[in-house]
Amino acid sequence: MPAAVRDLVPAARSQVNPSPLERWLVPTRSPVRIVAAAWLALRSVFWTLALPGAVAFYAPWRYFGVSHASPDLSNPMHVAGLVVAAAGTAVLVGCIVEFARTGRGTLSPLDPPRQLVVRGLYRYVRNPMYLGVTAIVLGEALLAPSMPLVCYWLLWFGAANSFIIGYEEPALERQFGQSYVEYRRRVGRWIPRRPQPAL
């Protein structure tokens, strides 16, 4: 290979796969895309606080005694509650990020993803975000044992299930058509399972 050609190869590779330093020094996003990403992030934060924030954090803290809970790490139920709530929070945050990154939307039915999200946890179960919120409330019920909080947890799950079956799934089928029908066939509503191959 001529020397001149050899000298051009690293430069071409650098343009195709720039190093982290090159990406930092030479931003590839236009100002319009940066503003759009920032606006999407703000909307995601707002709806997170307004919806799962109210259901999983504010209501249990304000009305069901979670604010008075004193975690005792020697108590297995408290440890289990902390672990379950932390896992639910991680699942919720991961789903919100995936909605923004892949679907270019938020968790709100008023500002939903524009693309069908089937990546990440959505490969294994159709409603991981609802499962995350359910796990948070269950963890709080273990941390601050309270029959009203357990009833609230059951009421939340029943309401979420009814909303999904009665509104969300038909709306997603209307929006995404056969893609969603096929996704619904391959992935369970509540019980995670290994993804099935497409027909």
Q: What is the pLDDT of residues 22-47, one digit of tens each?
A: 554 445 567 888 888 899 999 999 99
pTM, rounded to two decimals = 0.81
pLDDT at 187 > cutoff 70 = yes
Residue-level pLDDT at 114 = 92
Q: What is the pLDDT of residue 133?
A: 97
| pLDDT over threshold 50, residue 9 | no
> Can you tell me whether residue 26 is helix, strand or coil?
coil
Torsion angles phi and psi, residue 51, rounded to 5: -105, -80
Q: What is the pLDDT of residues 106-163, one digit of tens each?
A: 999 889 999 999 999 999 999 999 999 999 999 999 998 889 999 999 999 999 999 9
What is the separation of C-alpha 43 from the centre of its chain, rounded to a whole number of angstroms?
Answer: 14
Token pair listed for 131: 């499962």
Domains of the chain plus CATH, in order, are 43-186 (1.20.120.1630)
Confidence (pLDDT) at 198: 60
Mean pLDDT of 67-83: 93
The one-character DSSP state at 68 is G
What is the C-alpha separation between 142 and 80, in angstroms, rounded? 7
Q: Average of pLDDT values for 97-104?
A: 92
* Chain centre to alpha carbon of residue 3: 51
**Whether residue 16 has pLDDT greater than 60:** no
Copy the structure tokens of residue 173.
């089928």
Q: Report the candidate in 120, 140, 118 with the shortest Cα–Cα distance to residue 185.
A: 118
**What is the C-alpha to C-alpha distance for residues 58 and 75, in angstroms, rounded to an integer?**
25
Round to whole Å and give the CA distance between 57 and 95: 17
Q: What is the DSSP letter of 117?
A: -
Two structure tokens written together for 36: 């759009």
pLDDT of residue 148: 93
The answer to whether residues 119 and 98 touch, using CB atoms and an 8 Å cutoff, is: yes
How far from 122 is each of 93, 94, 128, 187, CA to CA, in Å? 13, 10, 7, 8
- Write down the pLDDT at residue 29: 65
| DSSP, res 168 | I
Mean pLDDT over the full length of the chain: 87
